[in-house]
C-alpha cells in the first residue's frame, strides 16, 4: 500500500510563478523516499501541500490514505513535519519543547513523558534536556526538531532539507541519526534535499525534480546504472568551454557534453582510455587544460542526462532567485 500518492500536482504563485507543473510520484509504506532537486525546483512546495500547509491548484494527493484537501485533519494527525527553518523555541529547554509539541498533538500525559525521555536519549540530547535551546549547537537544534516531529508517533514523517545550514560534521551526524531512525521507527520518510550525496546515502528511492516537474524516479543505484560509461570532467586553464566541447564532440566518442564556465563535462564509454585522445585534441586546438578527472556516473550525471542542465549550476541559480 502506498503511504503517499501524488498525481498531477500543480501550483502557481502570484505574478505567475509556476512552482509545480504536474508533479506525480508514490511512496510505499516504510520507505525512505527522496525528493532531489536544486533550490527552486518545487520540493518544499510539494511537501507543504502534502502537509496541508499550502493549497494545490490542480491534481490529487493522499497521505496515509487520506486526501490532503477533503481530509486535512486526518492527514495532520498522521504526519510529522520538520520544515527547513527550525521550529524550536530557543527560549525554552529541549524538554519543554518536546513537552509542548506533545500537548499540541494531544498525547496522553503518561505516554508523553515516556516518549519524551525516549526521544531525548535517542537523539543524544538527554544530558542537555534541561538546557535553554539557544545554547544548543546547530546540529543539536536540528535533532530536537526531528524529535519534536516524532513525539506523537506519526506514520509519515516529512523532512524538508533537514541538514541545510549544518557544517559537514553535524551533517554526517544527522545522516547517522536518520539512518537509525529509518530502521528503528518503521515509518515512512519523505526527505527533500539538494545535496546529491544525502539522497544517495539515505533514500531507497528518489524522484528528481526540476522546474516543477519530476523528470525521473527510481533507486539511486538503478538510475546511475542507466547511464553507460564514465563521467569525464575537464577544467580549462582559460577560455570558453563551449569551444572545447565542440572539439571533444568531433572525436565521436562522447555521449553528451555540458559546459559551465571553465568546466566541460562529458560522458564517454571508456573514460580512462578516452582521456589521452581528448587531451591531445584540445592541445592541438590551442586549448589549455588545468585538470581532468574520470568517475563513475553520479546522481549529478543522472540530472544532467535527463534535464540537459548541470545540477550545481541550477542549484546556485535557484539560491540566487
The domain defined by 228-296 carries CATH number 3.30.465.10 = no
Closest listed residue to residue 257, CA positions, set 235, 287, 231: 231
H or E segment and range at residue 255 = strand 254-260
Mean per-residue pLDDT for 82-106?
Answer: 95
d(Cα 137, Cα 149) in Å, to the nearest integer? 19
d(Cα 24, Cα 302) in Å, to the nearest integer? 19
Q: What is the pTM of this model?
A: 0.86
Q: Is the pLDDT of residue 197 over 80?
A: yes
Residues 12, 18, 22: CA angle, nearest 5 degrees: 90
Looking at residue 129, its pLDDT comes to 96
d(Cα 119, Cα 79) in Å, to the nearest integer? 17
Q: What residues does each domain of the chain span?
A: 2-218, 228-296
Burial class of residue 135 (count of CB atoms within 10 Å of its CB; 0-12, 13-18, 19+): exposed
Mean per-residue pLDDT for 77-104?
Answer: 95
Looking at residue 5, its pLDDT comes to 98
The domain defined by 2-218 carries CATH number 3.40.50.2300 = no
H or E segment and range at residue 206 = strand 205-210
Per residue in 223-262, pLDDT (tens digit) is 998 888 899 999 999 877 899 999 999 999 888 888 888 8
Per residue in 154-186, pLDDT (tens digit) is 999 999 999 988 888 888 888 988 888 887 777
Looking at residue 321, its pLDDT comes to 67
Q: Mean pLDDT in the chain? A: 92
Q: Are 143 and 154 in contact (CB under 8 A)?
A: no
Closest listed residue to residue 56, CA positions, set 103, 6, 97: 6
pLDDT band at 80; cut points 50, 70, 90: very high
Closest listed residue to residue 232, CA positions, set 262, 255, 266: 266
Q: Is the pLDDT of residue 320 over 70?
A: no
* 11 Rama sector, left if φ>0, alpha if ψ -120 to 50, beta otherwise: beta
Looking at residue 282, its pLDDT comes to 93
Amino acid at each position: 500500500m502506498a503511504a503517499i500518492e501524488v498525481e498531477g500536482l500543480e501550483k502557481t504563485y502570484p505574478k505567475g510563478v509556476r512552482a509545480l507543473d504536474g508533479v506525480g510520484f508514490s511512496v510505499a509504506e516504510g520507505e525512505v523516499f527522496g525528493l532531489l532537486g536544486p533550490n527552486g525546483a518545487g520540493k518544499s512546495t510539494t511537501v507543504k501541500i502534502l502537509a496541508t500547509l499550502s493549497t494545490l491548484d490542480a491534481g490529487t494527493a493522499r497521505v496515509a490514505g487520506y486526501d490532503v484537501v477533503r481530509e486535512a485533519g486526518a492527514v495532520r494527525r498522521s504526519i510529522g513535519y520538520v520544515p527547513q527553518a527550525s521550529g524550536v523555541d530557543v527560549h525554552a529547554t529541549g524538554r519543554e519543547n518536546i513537552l509542548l509539541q506533545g500537548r499540541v498533538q494531544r498525547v496522553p500525559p503518561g505516554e508523553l513523558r515516556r516518549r519524551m525521555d525516549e526521544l531525548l536519549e535517542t537523539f543524544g540530547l538527554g544530558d542537555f534536556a534541561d538546557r535553554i535551546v539557544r545554547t544548543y549547537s546547530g546540529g543539536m537544534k536540528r535533532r530536537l526538531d526531528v524529535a519534536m516531529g516524532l513525539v506523537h508517533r506519526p506514520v509519515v514523517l516529512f523532512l524538508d532539507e533537514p541538514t541545510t545550514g549544518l557544517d559537514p560534521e553535524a551533517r554526517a551526524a544527522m545522516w547517522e541519526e536518520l539512518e537509525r531512525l529509518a530502521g528503528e521507527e518503521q515509518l515512512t520518510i519523505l526527505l527533500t534535499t539538494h545535496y546529491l550525496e544525502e539522497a544517495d546515502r539515505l533514500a531507497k528511492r528518489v524522484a528528481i525534480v526540476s522546474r516543477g516537474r519530476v523528470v525521473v524516479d527510481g533507486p539511486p543505484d538503478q538510475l546511475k546504472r542507466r547511464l553507460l560509461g564514465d563521467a569525464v570532467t575537464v577544467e580549462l586553464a582559460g577560455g570558453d568551454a563551449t569551444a572545447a566541447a565542440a572539439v571533444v564532440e568531433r572525436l565521436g566518442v562522447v555521449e553528451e557534453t555540458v559546459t559551465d564556465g571553465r568546466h566541460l563535462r562529458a560522458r564517454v564509454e571508456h573514460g580512462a582510455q578516452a582521456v589521452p585522445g581528448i587531451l591531445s585534441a584540445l592541445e592541438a586546438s590551442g586549448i589549455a587544460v588545468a585538470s581532468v578527472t574520470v568517475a563513475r556516473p553520479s546522481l549529478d550525471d543522472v540530472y544532467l542526462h535527463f534535464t540537459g542542465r548541470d545540477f550545481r549550476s541550477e542549484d546556485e541559480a535557484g539560491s540566487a532567485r
